[in-house]
Amino acid sequence: MPRSAALLVIVLQLLCVQAFALEKPAQDLEKAGLVEPSKADKSFVLDIRYATTNNFTGKRVYPSARCFLRSDVARRLEAVQANLRGQALGLKIYDCYRPFSVQEAFWAIMPDERYVGKPERKDGIIVKSSRHNRGAAVDVTLVDANGAELPMPTGYDDFTDKAHRDSPAASAEARRNSLALERAMQAQGFEPLPTEWWHFDGSGWQGYEPLDLPLPADR
């Protein structure tokens, strides 16, 4: 085999190995029963904050801006999106599945169970976790037909009483929008978290085990 052809084979082999390494985390998540709702419905707006520095840690903690959810939870979210589309509205997604190790890092920064689910291990086994670690919770907001966010009581990850669903501090418009989001999500079985207007737990979240599988990196 000519030297140039041999080098080409080696390069192609290395590229295949690299591609497999990049996709293996996604394949592991799929084997665990998680899917990407944005693949089924391209109209979701993704703003995965923990894949950026625009979050309460000030650091990028996810290797990619992708949303993975349990298949049933994803289908319910797709149904919410379809219903909102008829109102010239849609969902922007802030967070979905979160590895347990990331939850531990969050707890070290914000040890307050009103806003961060307390992670616990016993003999190396996860015994307490966030719904996000189960791939059964999602953080979302409403956007208009152009993808612009509607006014809400606070920004995302505002760890104050102003983010509570019953807070009187929000404007009338923000309360209407928050309630509209809550009703749209509840119609598909999502349970709203009282202390965070953006957080919703998927129906049946108790039946999913917490995971510490890594998220895939960007290509």
Give me the residue label for tokens 């960007």.
218
Q: Tell me if residue 196 is catalytic.
A: yes
Single out the catalytic residue among 30, 182, 196, 209: 196
The H-assigned helical ranges of the chain are 3-31, 37-40, 71-85, 100-109, 172-186
Phi and psi for 126 in degrees, rounded to 5?
-70, 120
User: Among 187, 185, 165, which residue's Cα sits nearest to residue 174?
Assistant: 165
**How far apart are alpha carbons 39 and 44 in whole angstroms?**
9
Cα 176 to Cα 182: distance, rounded to the nearest angstrom: 10
Phi and psi angles of residue 218, each rounded to the nearest 5 degrees, phi first: -65, 150
Catalytic residues: 196
